[in-house]
Amino acid sequence: MVAPSMVSLRLRGRPVDYGVLDTLAGYAIRRALLAIGESFDADLTCEGMTIHRFSALTLIARNPGITRSILAQILGVAKPRATMVVLDLQKMGLVENRPINGDLRLIGLYLNAKGRRRYSRIERRMREHDQLATARLTAEERATLLRLLAKFGPDDDDGGTCDIGVLA
């Protein structure tokens, strides 16, 4: 069965034929990302955020003491890119560097009081946005979607663990 296209466009009075595109999971994921992402980005922009800044802010909030190297690994970006994102968050007055366990060679990232307040507000706004973006799904469908999309992420079922850094 062919998945219906996400957009019902017509070409000279006939529905557009998407051919193989409607059968490709990657294409469907990309279309969904475009449909949701535009308004998500607009909400973030109102907060002075980008998806990378919000992702980094979330990871720092949930993992106090995370290092820039670990942050880069998790975000899937080069360390210089992660450093630029962190510097942006520091210029915004949200994040600070602190030695981990008093070791000046190992610097962790932490939200300050302003960062915690701002993160709380942005997180609430993003959760509301996500609920609106997935409003056409039942709670069960939404849970299934998240479970299926998680299969595209790192394989956590390899039987082992990987300690990627020291978190204070």
Examine the pLDDT at 86 and tell me if it is beyond 80: yes
Residue ranges of domains in the chain, CATH in brackets: 1-37 (no CATH), 47-138 (1.10.10.10)
Task: Concatenate the DSSP letters of all residues of 2-25 into one string.
Answer: PPPPSS--EETTEE---GGGGG-H
Residues 14-36: what's their mean pLDDT?
87
pLDDT number for residue 91: 97
What three-state secondary structure class fits 99? strand
Confidence of residue 8 (pLDDT cuts 50, 70, 90): low
* pLDDT per residue as tens digits for the range 111-156: 999 999 999 999 999 999 899 989 999 999 999 999 998 988 766 5
Distance CA 53, CA 60 (A): 10
Examine the pLDDT at 1 and tell me if it is beyond 60: no
Task: Give the torsion through C-alpha atoms of 32, 35, 39, 41, to 10 deg.
Answer: 60
Q: How far is CA 15 from CA 2, 34, 35, 47, 69, in A?
A: 14, 21, 20, 39, 49
Place of tokens 């449909």: 35
Place of tokens 């997180």: 123
* pLDDT per residue as tens digits for the range 26-83: 898 888 888 888 878 888 888 889 889 999 999 999 999 999 999 999 999 999 999 9
- CA-based nearest residue to 100, from 56, 55, 70, 58: 70
